[in-house]
Amino acid sequence: MFKKGSKLYSILHLKCPRCHKGDLFHTGTWSFQDIAGMPDYCPNCKQNYMPEPGFYYGAMFVSYVFWGFFCIILGGTTIIGLGWTVNQAMLLLVFISAIFFVWLFRISRAIWFNLMVGYDKKWND
């Protein structure tokens, strides 16, 4: 499920969706430097990382849906399940958001890119 050739591999390792070898971003997953910095092309298969202007606007919707459900689950668990106040739950949410916003940004782009570009085995041999 997480092997090369699966979409999950490309998404979780932030690799090129076509060859699963080239990195999607200049810096590591948890780096807060150059957050949106991506190479123009994959260093391995030359896949264009910006297929068209505004290509990654769709990733905002991926991020919105993903984080929206996370907030509902976290809020429900802490407020209803654990009996926290709304302010306590909001503070935890802000704290988690501050830590994970780079990761979410990049995962959302990887998910969006993987929806549009499929794996091609010939680039991985």
Give the nearer residue to Zn ion in terms of CB position, either 78 or 114. 114
In single-letter form, the type of residue at position 14 comes to L
User: Are the C-beta atoms of 56 and 24 separated by less than 8 Å?
Assistant: no
Q: In the complex, what is the shortest distance from the CB of residue 102 to Zn ion, in angstroms, rounded to a whole number?
A: 22
Within 10 Å of residue 54's Cβ, how many Cβ atoms? Answer: 7
Residues 6+ apart with CB under 8 A from 12: 2, 107
Query: What pairs with residue 48 in β-bridges?
Result: 41
Residues 6+ apart with CB under 8 A from 1: 8
Q: In the complex, what is the shortest distance from the CB of residue 71 to Zn ion, in angstroms, rounded to a whole number?
A: 34
Give the nearer residue to Zn ion in terms of CB position, either 98 or 122. 122
Give the nearer residue to Zn ion in terms of CB position, either 62 or 113. 113
Give the nearer residue to Zn ion in terms of CB position, either 43 or 76. 43
Q: In the complex, what is the shortest distance from the CB of residue 15 to Zn ion, in angstroms, rounded to a whole number?
A: 8
Q: In the complex, what is the shortest distance from the CB of residue 92 to Zn ion, in angstroms, rounded to a whole number?
A: 38
What is the binding site for Zn ion (CB under 5 A)?
16, 18-19, 22, 42, 44-45, 47
